[in-house]
Amino acid sequence: MSVHVVSYNLLVPILAEEPGYFYKCHPKYIDRNYRFGFIQSELQREISRHKNAIICLQELCRTTIPLFNEFFRQQNYRLIHKSYGEKFNDYMGVGIAIPNSMRSASAAFIKVSDKIKARLSQKATDSLSILSRFRQYLRDKSSRGTSDPWDIAMNKKNILIFIRVMIHGVPLCIGTYHMPCLYKFPDVMLIHATMVKDLMFELARGDNMILAGDFNMQPTANCYRAITELGCTSCQLPKSKIYEVYYRPDANHILRSTYVEKNGIEPPFTAFSSTPNSPDFCAPMDYIFFYGRLLVNNVLRLPNYPDSESYPDATHPSDHLMIAATFRLG
């Protein structure tokens, strides 16, 4: 009994087609009609080749949701999705598509920042004089707008989709997440990574689980290590200037990465592009993590190096590679 899990960042059309953004790409290859026909053919290949294929998508948006709803309907699938973005990114979000034949026991849409906020409280200032409290207010206001990682973390809108399905009577939990892209604030990414990992364990309640998505992190980053390394000594969550933090990460539960499990190492890259702020960016960003009585049978083979100046190109319709893994359920 097996399940095949795909994860794919689709690249929002409004961002792909912004003039001068993917400046090394031929205009034909950033056109939405070309890209999405190609993407759908890639997804259809995975669905037709694998039984019990589950598709996790990032950067779905208002423009593409109707297209993918219709595509999955034709494949006898249903798409579960949630948007959280803003106008500039066409209200992008995430989604999970499952076969109509696969029974879904539950689904949840979790705004991770709400879970972070619930574990914070404003630091008490009642004992301070009026003048001291005013000075504290000014310091807090400054921190809110600039540097406090907890304040930044609890103001992100990213959504974790979590579903529990039954495969021949065996429960399996699937989550997908698109981590905030905040390279200049690694502590914020660490907070989100740790919280998402802990939420998956909390929601799965001991069942087998898989967490897939674009995590905007490299394997050397503390946020990756917080998800995969037991007792990570350098993964301490930051302190806050503004809040009392009541969140204590679950240090006893970690996830494994499918590509490391099968190949001994993460892929050389899963994202490749040249943009004005990040020329020739090439690194692993996308992962399929898992926990429980699951055996990784195989993973989708990925290239060792890019073969063009920038994605999207003639054979890669997104700036991310599609990744996938087949599991045997224990």
pLDDT tens-digit readout, 101-152: 998 878 999 999 999 999 988 776 544 455 554 555 455 555 445 589 999 9
The kind and range of the H/E element at 149 are helix 149-153
Residue ranges in the chain modelled with pLDDT below 70 = 124-146
Residue 19, exposed/middle/buried by CB under 10 A (0-12, 13-18, 19+)? exposed
Q: What is the pLDDT of residue 49?
A: 95
In the chain, where the domains are located: 2-329
Residue 164 phi, psi (nearest 5): -115, 125
Per the rule left: phi > 0, alpha: psi between -120 and 50, beta: everything else, 206 is left
CA atoms within 13 A of residue 119's CA, in its CB half-sphere: 18
In the CATH hierarchy, which fold is given to the domain comprising 2-329? Deoxyribonuclease I; Chain A (3.60.10)
92 contacts 45 by C-beta, under 8 angstroms: no
Q: What is the pLDDT of residue 304?
A: 95
SS3 122: strand
Q: What would you report as the CA-atom Rg of the chain, rounded to the nearest whole angstrom?
A: 21
- Assign 3-class secondary structure to 151-165: HHHCCCCCEEEEEEE
The Cα–Cα gap between 170 and 96 comes to: 19
- Torsion angle defined by CA atoms of residues 45, 49, 53 and 54, in that order, rounded to the nearest 10 degrees: -20
Q: What is the pLDDT of residue 13?
A: 97
Q: What is the pLDDT of residue 138?
A: 55
56 contacts 8 by C-beta, under 8 angstroms: yes
Structure tokens at 167: 């495969």
Classify residue 87 by its DSSP letter.
Answer: G
| CA diameter of the chain | 69
Distances (CA, A) of 244 to 66, 221, 240: 43, 26, 7
The Cα–Cα gap between 211 and 251 comes to: 18
Residue spans of beta strands (DSSP E) within 35-158: 53-60, 77-83, 93-99, 103-111, 120-122
Q: What is the pLDDT of residue 143?
A: 47
89 contacts 61 by C-beta, under 8 angstroms: yes
